[in-house]
């Protein structure tokens, strides 16, 4: 109910930048060493969780070359060429890199990202993402040019960090800016947030957002305009936005809030619910079946709702959807929530009834399927991107071990190493 984007106001239009954190470069540790992507490297691990759908490989070896997985197999079954670097991961657990599909680059620490000292930016990306094994993030609401600046500095190789996909600024219903945003920014600013009144206006905003570099579109189909009060996006506006995004080859994430907001998302054929439905008054079990048959996916964000009085019902909603083989992808709303540590989300997903393999799917293979990237990401297979996480303890024994990260690799390079800390 107290959802999203509170901090993204600080970035809007560059007006409110007073909270920019000024920290000298010297006060930060150097960013983790980025080894040359051309150096082949072999990892030998206690257990390799290739994917949630096959048995793990015990005492396995992964050969990484040119940023890709060149070979994977049991000890003695992988030909390791001479001159290959070796990383001894015996006693450790190796998984494909994780994707957090609901975050925001909106806290003051990201302000003026183009000008942040490189060591500081690298440190922030490490503290918030790669130290938790996150190699891809989906930002679902931020100031697009600023997020682009972070992405450009990562993609150029200047700083290590996750792959970033972003929605830029979301679209809200008419007079539908959430109260928690209004409360934290001047009226002149929140009035400028995109609140299309007509389908034509929605199409124009979607085009502008995609032309500006957005990878997905984010809609508030239901928006908390006051505590206990949701305003929904008109169906024709939501439909026009979704159709235009799909025409441009982009997926749409939506914030439903309540049953009415969920129904707009469903009828408009939104691709991903950015949250479970929070206010379940009027909810019917048949809605989940409709969602499943319509191909809509869900990001539960259960930790966000953990203090809601109806959290048990929201957990049940997520478990029921999983039982229907509904598609669940992992996301935390970090950036709105101040804590980037995903452990709580892992624990609550498990408490809701999800298995280790379902949670691993939500972090790896499911987002790859959703983004049509299954051929290149989400599993430890030959030819795939060498985005990997090395854990100190077995996550199948204790789900919180998913956050016990020793190394994170992105495209074959170590972007986080606990031993460097």
Among 244, 333, 387, 404, binds Zn ion (CB under 5 A): 333
Crossing angle of helices 356-363 and 343-352, in 10° steps, is: 130
CA distance readout (Å), 180 to 6, 86, 185, 265, 299: 6, 50, 9, 22, 21
Near Zn ion by CB under 5 A, which window of 232-240, 333-341, 343-351, 371-379?
333-341
| Separation between Cα atoms, residue 60 and residue 368, nearest integer Å | 23
- Ranges of beta strands (E only) in 263-334 are 272-273, 297-298
Closest approach of Cβ 110 to Zn ion, in Å?
A: 15
Nearer to Zn ion, 64 or 177 (CB): 177
* Residue 365-394 contact track with Zn ion, rule CB under 5 A, x = bound: ------------------------------
- Ranges of beta strands (E only) in 143-300 are 163-166, 216-220, 222-226, 229-232, 251-255, 272-273, 297-298
Closest approach of Cβ 141 to Zn ion, in Å?
A: 6
Nearer to Zn ion, 336 or 356 (CB): 336
By the rule CB under 5 A, 126 interacts with Zn ion: no
By the rule CB under 5 A, 345 interacts with Zn ion: no
Under DSSP, the state recorded for 207 is H
3-state SS class at 61: strand
Contact (CB, 8 A) for 152 and 113: no
| Separation between Cα atoms, residue 270 and residue 254, nearest integer Å | 7
* Residue 170-209 contact track with Zn ion, rule CB under 5 A, x = bound: ----------------------------------------
What is the number of the residue whose Cβ is closest to Zn ion? 4
Near Zn ion by CB under 5 A, which window of 18-26, 27-35, 119-127, 326-334?
326-334
Nearer to Zn ion, 49 or 336 (CB): 336
Contact (CB, 8 A) for 67 and 386: yes
Nearer to Zn ion, 279 or 333 (CB): 333
Closest approach of Cβ 411 to Zn ion, in Å?
A: 27
Contact (CB, 8 A) for 389 and 97: yes
Surface-to-core class of residue 419, CB atoms within 10 Å of its CB (0-12 exposed, 13-18 middle, 19+ buried): exposed
By the rule CB under 5 A, 142 interacts with Zn ion: no
Closest approach of Cβ 148 to Zn ion, in Å?
A: 19
Closest approach of Cβ 263 to Zn ion, in Å?
A: 20
Number of residues that bind Zn ion (CB under 5 A): 3
**Which residue ranges make up the site for Zn ion (CB under 5 A)?**
4, 333, 336
């Amino acid at each position: 109910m107290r959802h999203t984007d509170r901090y993204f106001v600080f970035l809007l239009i560059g007006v409110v930048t007073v909270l920019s954190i000024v920290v000298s470069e010297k006060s930060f540790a150097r960013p983790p060493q980025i080894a040359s992507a051309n150096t082949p490297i072999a990892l030998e691990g206690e257990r390799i969780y290739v994917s949630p759908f096959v048995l793990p490989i015990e005492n396995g070896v992964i050969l990484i070359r040119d940023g890709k997985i060149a070979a994977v197999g049991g000890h003695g079954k992988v030909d390791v060429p001479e001159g290959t670097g070796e990383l001894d991961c015996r006693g450790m657990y190796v998984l494909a890199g994780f994707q957090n599909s609901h975050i925001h680059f909106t806290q003051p620490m990201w302000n003026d990202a183009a000008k942040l000292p490189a060591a500081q930016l690298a440190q922030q990306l490490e503290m918030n993402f790669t130290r938790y094994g996150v190699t891809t993030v989906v930002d679902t609401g931020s100031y697009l040019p600023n997020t682009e600046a972070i992405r450009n500095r990562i993609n150029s190789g200047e700083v290590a960090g996750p792959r970033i996909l972003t929605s830029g600024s979301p679209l809200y219903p008419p007079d539908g800016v959430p109260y928690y945003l209004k409360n934290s920014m001047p009226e002149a600013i929140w009035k400028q947030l995109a609140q299309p009144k007509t389908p034509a206006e929605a199409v124009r905003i979607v085009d502008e957002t995609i032309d500006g570099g957005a990878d997905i579109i984010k809609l508030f189909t239901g928006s908390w305009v006051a505590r206990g009060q949701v305003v929904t996006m008109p169906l024709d506006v939501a439909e026009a936005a979704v159709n235009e995004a799909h025409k441009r080859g982009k997926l749409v994430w939506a914030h439903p809030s309540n049953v009415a907001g969920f129904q707009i998302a469903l009828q408009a054929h939104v691709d991903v619910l950015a949250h479970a439905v929070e206010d379940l008054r009027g909810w019917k079990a048949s809605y989940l079946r409709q969602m499943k048959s319509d191909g809509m996916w869900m990001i539960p964000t259960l930790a966000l709702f953990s203090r809601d009085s109806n959290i048990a019902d929201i957990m049940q909603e997520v478990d029921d959807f999983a039982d229907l083989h509904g598609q669940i992808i992992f996301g935390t709303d970090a950036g709105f929530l101040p804590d980037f540590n995903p452990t709580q989300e892992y624990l609550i997903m498990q408490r809701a009834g999800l298995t280790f393999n379902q949670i691993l799917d939500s972090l790896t293979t499911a987002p790859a399927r959703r983004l049509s990237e299954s051929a290149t990401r989400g599993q430890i297979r030959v030819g795939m991107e060498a985005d990997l996480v090395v854990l100190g303890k077995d996550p199948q024994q204790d789900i919180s071990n998913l956050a016990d990260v020793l190394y994170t690799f992105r495209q074959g390079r170590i972007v986080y190493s606990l031993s460097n800390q």
